């Protein structure tokens, strides 16, 4: 596999992660339990969509077919998406939304500072920018997970249920392939497998503080990152996200 092909795939994965999670988080806009949380979720979604523009913009630039980040976001179908399955799962309650946010923020907070050292200046610049935002996100999502996990009996129960539900989707972060091998060999990315210990140590620390028990079953759903098989939920997201460009191709605000 050529480095440029691997890099295009990598940028697509990064952009699809933030695009799909950004869309999911934005679904809370106007519905969050309190106004402050509503504003926080909307701002988090904005950061994620902004990061998407950079990553998918890079993917488009490498592809060099005259496409924009918008074309990539709005004119592909399910099988072309490369986001983690974790991020396309429905929000369910506020607890599950924040648990998912934490599990992803924690990964990004470890991954992005490494990417900021990339030998590719475009990757380094995006990662440097995004890592500052993510540092802020993980502070909030970790605090909320602890607050709700170590909260009332009801909030604890819901956070444990959220963790149990989401846990089988965490392992996909480390379901690496040739893309990761080629790019880490070229000094463009840090291989995810080398960050695994650090990631599990971080989430274990926070989840323990939140008085939650980490499920023991190591089973991991896979297929989003590789594009092999998404869950049924992604199609529903795309229907809502893409209908305007599908119905009125090329329309602009």
Partner 1 sequence: MLKHAVSDVWQWLDAVPDPEIPVISLVDLGIIRDVAWDEDVLVVKVTPTYSGCPATTVINLDIENALRERGVKNLRLERQLSPAWTTDWLTDNGRAKLERYGIAPPQAAGGPERCPHCGDTHLERISQFGSTPCKAQWRCKSCLEPFDYFKCI
By CB under 8 A, name the binding residues for partner 1.
22, 36-37, 39-40, 43-51, 53-54, 121, 124-126, 128-130, 132-133, 136, 139-140
Q: Taking the complex as a whole, how short is the minimal distance between the CB of residue 50 and partner 1, in angstroms?
A: 3
Nearer to partner 1, 88 or 133 (CB): 133
Identify the DSSP state of 93.
Answer: S
Q: Please state, in angstroms and rounded to a whole number, the distance separating the CA atoms of residues 111 and 91.
A: 24
Nearer to partner 1, 42 or 78 (CB): 42
Alpha helices in 121-209 (DSSP H): 121-149, 153-166, 178-185, 196-209
Nearer to partner 1, 22 or 149 (CB): 22
Q: Taking the complex as a whole, how short is the minimal distance between the CB of residue 137 and partner 1, in angstroms?
A: 9
Q: Please state, in angstroms and rounded to a whole number, the distance separating the CA atoms of residues 195 and 34.
A: 35
Backbone angles phi and psi of 220, in degrees to 5 = -130, 125
Length of the chain: 253
Q: Taking the complex as a whole, how short is the minimal distance between the CB of residue 192 and partner 1, in angstroms?
A: 22
Q: Taking the complex as a whole, how short is the minimal distance between the CB of residue 235 and partner 1, in angstroms?
A: 25
Say if CB 191 and CB 181 are below 8 A apart.
yes
Nearer to partner 1, 35 or 153 (CB): 35
């Amino acid at each position: 596999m050529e480095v440029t092909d691997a890099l295009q795939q990598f940028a697509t994965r990064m952009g699809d992660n933030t695009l799909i999670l950004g869309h999911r988080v934005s679904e809370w806009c106007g519905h969050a339990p309190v106004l402050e949380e509503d504003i926080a979720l909307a701002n988090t979604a904005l950061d994620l969509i902004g990061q998407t523009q950079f990553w998918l913009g890079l993917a488009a630039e490498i592809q060099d077919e005259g496409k924009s980040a918008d074309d990539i976001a709005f004119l592909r179908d399910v099988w072309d998406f490369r986001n983690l399955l974790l991020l396309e799962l429905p929000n369910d309650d506020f607890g599950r939304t924040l648990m998912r946010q934490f599990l992803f923020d924690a990964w990004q907070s470890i991954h992005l500072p490494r990417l900021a050292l990339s030998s590719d200046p475009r990757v380094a610049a995006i990662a440097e920018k995004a890592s500052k935002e993510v540092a802020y996100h993980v502070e909030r999502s970790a605090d909320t997970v602890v607050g709700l996990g170590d909260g009332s009996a009801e909030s604890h129960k819901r956070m444990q249920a959220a963790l149990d539900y989401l846990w089988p989707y965490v392992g996909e972060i480390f379901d690496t392939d040739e893309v990761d091998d080629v790019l880490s060999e070229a000094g463009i990315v840090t291989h995810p497998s080398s960050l695994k210990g650090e990631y599990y140590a971080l989430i274990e620390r926070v989840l323990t503080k939140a008085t939650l028990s980490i499920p023991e079953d190591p089973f991991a759903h896979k297929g989003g990152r590789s594009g092999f098989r998404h869950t049924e939920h992604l199609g529903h997201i795309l229907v809502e996200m893409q209908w305007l460009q599908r119905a009125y191709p090329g329309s602009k605000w």
